[in-house]
Amino acid sequence: MRTQVGIIGAGPAGLLLSHVLHLRGISSVVLERRSRDHVERRVRAGVLEQGTVDTLIEAGVGDRMLREGLPHHGIELRYGGAGHRIAFDELVPGRSITVYGQQEVVKDLIEARLAAGGDIRFDVENVALHSLESQPYVTFGDGERLDCDVIAGCDGFHGVSRPSVPEGVLRTFEREYPFAWLGVLAEVTPSAEELIYARNERGFALHSMRSPTVSRFYLQVPPDVDADDWPDERIWDELRARLETVPGFTLATGPIIEKGVTPMRSFVVEPMQYGRLYLAGDAAHIVPPTGAKGLNLAVADVRVLTEALDAYFRDGSTALLDGYSAACLRRVWRAQHFSWWMTTLLHTFDEDDDYGRRLQLSHLDYVTSSEAAATTLAENYVGLPFDLTGPL
């Protein structure tokens, strides 16, 4: 087989890249080691930045998101027995977020690609990347081969793309946090209209939602925790303890339909390219989910890579491809800092660190009382405009 762009991974980055390249008349083949059912069902992020929403609409895959997604114009920071709203509609007029599950984005993209005759191959085994410096190709399955002009590595943190780069080429930056998130999906009407980020001496908690009838919750837990050690009753007791801290708020409970533990880490590789391999999304960077940046960074990478590939296949120009990593990393490091900042602002660290706790509370007071500080949070949370962090 031959195609212009071989895409490894059918997550949001790989699928969106394949779709927007198709709109530009550029051919691609997507290889995914998991089944279609697995890819469409795995629950991940659910907060879409303004720029991500705009990108999906521009790409023609935003209709269901516009019908079913939940636009939000603020979030609540809850601590010290009070709630404080960060009002996006006042601080950054015209920009907001939309709550719409990552798996729903994936479903929309798969449907669009298949309807347009796209080549997505699921359950692909033995994927290997070759000859990245000159004439790249991919082998997979039982001796099948895909020749291509470039390869996009969109296969996540544990994929084969990044390890295919020779040792010593990539520089790694990483940090692991001393806690994890226990994530819970429940069939219950959300208890609030907007997301609640709760700082509590017992640990952080987040109240989110997926639809008018399904809620999403997170609890800060030790990094080695087993989800099976948290029966439903214990989860609801702990969520009530961390969230029912303001007068008049009562947490609605219901059947828990899914739970799992998410490790908290920060990770970046530089550069995000080698030869004719270009890394995008989680293959190149991971952020703790506190800032809701993972999926949104993947979309930003795809925008940069699409423009670079379009220029290359249209007139042979390599300038944007050569600058791909630098352009992406400007936004990646801004999101890394924001995610780290939100994480340290809201989570409990060393229980004996009274000094650290007082600094944390002081900063929360500043964010919730200063329009300038609140604007900084709002501006980063809804997503910086793409033209502020590099070319499209």
The residues annotated as belonging to the active site are 72, 197, 289, 293, 381
DSSP three-state, residue 112: helix
Residue written as token pair 């490894």: 8
Which neighbouring-strand residues pair with 30? 7, 120
Cα-flanking dihedrals φ and ψ of residue 63, to 5°?
-60, -50
* Count of residues making up the chain: 392
40: Cβ–Cβ under 8 A, 6 or more apart, which residues? Answer: 103, 106, 107, 110
> In the Cβ-directed half-sphere of 389, how many Cα atoms lie within 13 Å?
20
What is the C-alpha separation between 262 and 389, in angstroms, rounded? 28
User: In 151-262, which ranges are continuous DSSP H helix?
Assistant: 232-243
Q: By the 8 A CB rule, do 85 and 79 touch?
A: no
From residue 321, how far is each of 282, 298, 310, 385, 389 by CA, in Å?
19, 17, 10, 21, 16
What is the C-alpha separation between 391 and 204, in angstroms, rounded? 36
Pairing of strands 256-270, 171-186: antiparallel
